[in-house]
Amino acid sequence: MKSLFDFEEIKAIIEQKPFEVRHGKDQRKIYDSAKGNARLAVMMAIIAKETNKLESLNNVADLFEQYFETFVSDEDAFKDKRILKALGIISFFYTLPYDDNELLNSVASSFSISSDELREAFDKLHSLDLVELNYEHVRIGEQNLSTYFFYKVFIKDKLLSFAQLWNNYFDQLEYRFKDTVYPMYQNFGKEVIIKEIKPILASYWLTIKSDEEKAFRFYNFSWEFLPDECIIYLEKRISLLDTVTAD
């Protein structure tokens, strides 16, 4: 399946039933806001049809806020910080064992909550069809949903600490940061994301810069967030190699 669609392709999708978004201005706004992402475009088309609030959606974060306000049956669930924290956690890990007490306790304690609270929140989210409970595992299945709640919990509302997440899990789960931070960076405002995470990455760098393997792994991930620092580090490494060659 294509990852991004052009305007004519998005237009063809959203002007059909059941969406029937046929006004050119609305079609263009949906395309520009969704940036070619068909799933986001469909969400916006649904909101346009059901609420007539398309004009109030200025970014992808507004889209998700309006979508859940409109279509989730239990609005109070999103006022419960325990529910939101659980969404943030599962958005990062993607899947967690529901009945593995040792692992779930470890994850829960790293965010200063109890595993029982985490399970209760997962049960509630399952009843709202926001997570899946299959084969004794809980998982979040929709990528856009996952990206939004990761952004909301760790960056926008700061219900959980991104610094704590980074320091506890980057060494073990670098790939999960790639799967969560990069999409968030693309969808929710590059300047906003850099402002929030750059100090955390810069602080972490000071603790590992003398370890060559960790340094390369770190900059392989974070060069887009710390480009100047990355260039300086690489120049120093090249300079050292030149010195060794000359000797």
d(CA 200, CA 181): 13
101-138 tens-digit pLDDT: 899 999 999 999 999 999 999 999 998 888 999 868 99
Q: In what order do the strands lie in the sheet with 137-139?
A: 95-97, 137-139, 132-134
Q: Name the packing angle between helices 190-208 and 162-169 (round to 10°).
A: 40
Q: Where are the beta strands (DSSP E) in 17-131?
A: 95-97
pLDDT confidence bin for 167, thresholds 50/70/90: very high
Assess contact for 197 and 225: CB atoms under 8 A: yes
Q: Cα–Cα distance between 30 and 22 in angstroms, integer? A: 11
Reading the block at residue 175, the tokens are 């790939």
> Pick from 113, 146, 148, 111: which is nearest to 131 by CA?
146
- Model confidence pLDDT, tens digit, residues 74-103: 667 778 899 999 999 999 999 999 988 899
Contacts of 206 (CB under 8 A, 6+ apart): none
Closest alpha carbon to 192 in 205, 203, 202, 181: 181
Model confidence at 242, pLDDT cuts 50, 70, 90, reads: low
pLDDT, one tens digit per residue, over 32-79 is 877 788 888 888 888 888 777 777 677 777 777 777 776 666 667 778
**Cα separations (Å) of 161 from 60, 121, 155, 224?**
22, 19, 8, 21
